[in-house]
Amino acid sequence: MSAADTATDVPAPARKKRFNRTEVLAALIFVLPFVVVYAVMFIYPTLQMIWLSFQKAPLIGAGTFIGFDNYEKLFKDRLFGVAFWNTVYFVVLTVVPSTMLALAIAVGINRLKGWTQSVILACFFIPYILPVSVVFRVWGWMFDSQFGILQPLIALFVGENVPVFRTLPLFMPAVAFITIWWTIGFNILLFIAGLRNISPEIYEAAALDGTSRWRQFTRITWPLIWPVTVLVLTIQLIAQFKIFDQIYLFGNGGRSDATMGLVQLIYRSAFQKNNGGYGATVAVVLFAVIVIFSVLQFQMLRARGEK
């Protein structure tokens, strides 16, 4: 079922049984392309990244070993603090609202039937499959400070047009809102799959007892959908921690430090300031944070799979 629980059904390697030579040879040929690509593009860069974080090095070229100096610098770096808290802020603005909204929409869609259900689902889902550049252009136009269709609405409350992406307190909430618009289809899909797994008989029984709709939701749907909710929350948490594209594009090429996120700090340090060692250090921190979240997710999936 899940990636995690299938791990346990690999049969224990037959240590006593001898391997069949032609079978081993065939297996080697089968796994070779994957293993080579994986070693060169995944394991090697990961180890290199850790090694580079202990060096004072340009992006390209030899560096000198400086121990933990980069890490020391990191924790004193004001910009790292800004990038870290911006990332956390973005995660807070997106993860829980997106999950809750997706659940509500999924419940709504699940009530529909036939082609109306497919059409409505497609409306919510289509943004998810579009590239970030399209999302950037579409919402740049919606919020355009001169002719954006949302400006009359904004002017109604504020009294004038507001350049949303150049107004610092509005930047992150606006980008978070757009990100929710963009990615919610994925969450909705997982919730609909979860809702379909709830037996209709439970609801029929509840309806016979005259249980109110709200009580049906809190007593039946919510507890039964909880495992999917946890899955969606962790997937979103991990995904949104890696935020770069939207902030970079809406932030006009990342010109302002105030809107910087962690991946952007890696980019800034390594690519714009040619300090590969420091960029790698930030990457290691991001790496560590996400590994911790992923281990949690993995454990939860496994717990679910073993039930």
Footprint (CB under 8 A) of other proteins, residues 124-163: 124-127, 129-134, 136-142, 144, 146-147, 149
Question: Contacts with other proteins in 255-294 (CB under 8 A)?
Answer: 263, 266-267, 270-271, 276, 279-280, 283-284, 286-287, 290-291, 294
| Cα dihedral 266, 271, 275, 280 in deg (nearest 10) | 40
Query: What is each CA distance from 127 to 121, 144, 304, in whole angstroms?
Result: 11, 19, 30
Nearest to 249 by CA among 96, 110, 144, 137: 137
What's the closest the beta carbon of residue 244 comes to other proteins, in angstroms? 6
299 binds other proteins (CB under 8 A): no
CA of 301: how far to CAs of 4, 59, 100, in Å?
6, 38, 20
Q: How far apart are CA 48 and CA 68, in angstroms?
A: 16
Question: Per rule CB under 8 A, is residue 52 in the interface with other proteins?
Answer: yes
CB of 10 to other proteins, least distance (A): 6
Judged by beta carbon, residue 112 or residue 258, the one nearer other proteins is: 112
Asked whether 261 and 247 are in contact (CB, 8 A), the reply is: yes
- Closer residue to other proteins in complex, CB, 81/108: 108
Considering the complex, what minimum distance in angstroms separates the CB of residue 124 from other proteins?
5
Query: What is the rounded distance in angstroms from the CA atom of residue 277 to the CA atom of residue 81?
Result: 18
Residues in region 208-247 near other proteins by CB under 8 A? 210, 212-213, 216, 228, 231, 235, 238, 241-242, 244-245
Q: Does 71 bind other proteins (CB under 8 A)?
A: no
Q: Which C-beta is closer to other proteins: that of 89 or that of 302?
A: 302
Q: Which is nearer to other proteins, 166 or 213 (CB)?
A: 213
The CA dihedral of 303, 195, 178, 77, to the nearest 10 degrees, is -10
105 lies in the site for other proteins, by CB under 8 A: yes
3-state secondary structure of 64: strand
Stretch that binds other proteins, among 36-44, 69-77, 87-95, 162-170 (CB under 8 A): 36-44
Question: 190, 197, 198: which is closest to 219 by C-alpha?
Answer: 198
At position 210, the amino acid (one-letter code) is: G
- Tell me the per-residue interface mask from 170 to 189 with other proteins, x by CB under 8 A, - otherwise: -----------x----x--x
Write out the two tokens for 181.
């618009």
Question: Considering the complex, what minimum distance in angstroms separates the CB of residue 15 from other proteins?
Answer: 10
